[in-house]
Amino acid sequence: MSDAIRFLSVSKAFGEVRALSDLDFVAPSGSITVLLGPNGAGKTTTVRLATGSMQPDFGDIRVLGLVPMDDGREVRARVGVVPPKPAFYEQLTGWENLQFAATIFEASERAARDAAERFDIAHALDQEVGGYSTGMRTRLALARAVIHDPEVLLLDEPTAGLDPESSRAVLELISELAGKGRTIVMCTHLLHEAEGIADQVVLMDNGTTRAAGHPRDLARRYMADPVVIFDAENREVLATLEGRAGVIRMRRNGHVEVALDDLHRLPDLIAELVAGGARLTRVEPKQPTLEDLYFEMQRRHREEVTP
């Protein structure tokens, strides 16, 4: 699998503010790569650099084998972008906005109509965009971004402001596009979104890559300790788990989540709790989520930078 996008030690600053600092990541062709990070992590800057709309201060960027700053026109003709807050000419209708995009990207009106139908916005094309809801805008933005059948799709917070149903629909459409061989790079700070669709997650913070890989591999790498959820009718007894042999750490969240050094310790722990009077209602090994992973990485990073 070749690389659709490659960032190598890319840095970008705006005056005193460092947006990216030695950012490295690769988005393989035909995959969904999720850039995951808090606000200000540098995700939007990454998208803008990928299209050549901005110039990096340092580092090497390749998109479809091209250098965006040198071959910007070709890169932008082969890439589709959905910005974080999709904006349109409000007084124009949805169709007029799509026609404008079709002309610029040298796509046919048929392609514009097909894109609108694919994203279920064809019914509203005669309306002025000023009257569109957030969901309709997002759908129109997605239609506009794929009007020229791009090889790479850069989506910057595509579900921002959407209700859960619309978010799910958008994510399904994104997965569908990836299934057709398109390379998707999606920026988000919503962990549950990344979880469902990502082939690769790039965890970003302060403009740099903290980790990259498939969510499962990252979990294995950073969350090697098995976690078990305990709950009981008499929850106070669960506090006795702290300090027992094999318990690495414990987190209370109504129920109790316990990280063990070895899952084989579990039968003994259960026996000890029951012997201690615990009336257990739940004992469940927990699959680490991306959220767990994200916070674990943040925790480790804080430990690294704080002596």
Partner 1 sequence: MVRAVARADLTRLFKSRDYWLPLIILAGLFFVIIPFIMLNVVSSADRTPLMAQIGDVIGTLPPAIQDNIQGDSPSTRAAYAFAVYLLAPIAIVVPLTISSAVGANAIVGERERGTGEFLAHSPLSLREIYIGKLLASLVPGYAATLVGFSIYAVIVNVVVGPSVGGWFFPTTGWWLLIFWVVPPFIAIALALILRMSAKVRSAAAAHQASTLITLPVIILSYAAASGLIYSPTWSAFGIGLVAWVVAIILLVRGSRSLRRERLLGVASEA
In the complex, the residues that contact partner 1 under the rule CB under 8 A are: 14-15, 48, 51-55, 73-74, 76-77, 79, 81, 83, 85-92, 96, 100-101, 103-105, 128, 144
Confirm if 37 and 204 have CB atoms less than 8 A apart.
yes
What are the phi and psi torsion angles at 51 (to 5°)?
Answer: -95, 0
Measured from the CB of residue 100, what is the shortest distance to partner 1 in angstroms?
Answer: 5
| Cα Rg of the chain, angstroms | 23
Smallest distance from the beta carbon of 199 to partner 1, in angstroms? 24
In the bound state with partner 1, the residue whose beta carbon lies nearer, of 85 and 299, is 85
Phi then psi for 303, rounded to 5 degrees? Answer: -65, -35
Buried b (16+ CB within 10 A) or exposed e, 125-163: beebbeebeebbbbbbbbbbbbbbebbbbbbbbbbbebe
**Can you tell me the distance from the alpha carbon of 214 to that of 218, in angstroms, rounded to the nearest whole number?**
6
Which residue lies nearer to partner 1 by CB, 52 or 288?
A: 52
Cβ 268 to partner 1 shortest distance, Å? 58
- Our CB check for partner 1 shows the closer of 75 and 228 to be 75
Written as six digits, the tokens of 256 are 């109790």
Selection from 272, 263, 276 nearest residue 229 by Cα:
263
Contacts of 199 (CB under 8 A, 6+ apart): 28, 31, 32, 33, 178, 214
Nearer Cβ to partner 1 (49/227): 49
Measured from the CB atom, is 78 or 210 closer to partner 1?
Answer: 78
Q: Which is nearer to partner 1, 97 or 200 (CB)?
A: 97
Least distance between partner 1 and beta carbon 55 (Å): 8
> Shortest approach of partner 1 to residue 13 CB, angstroms?
11
Q: Nearest approach, Cβ of 118 to partner 1 (angstroms)? A: 19
What's 157's DSSP letter?
S
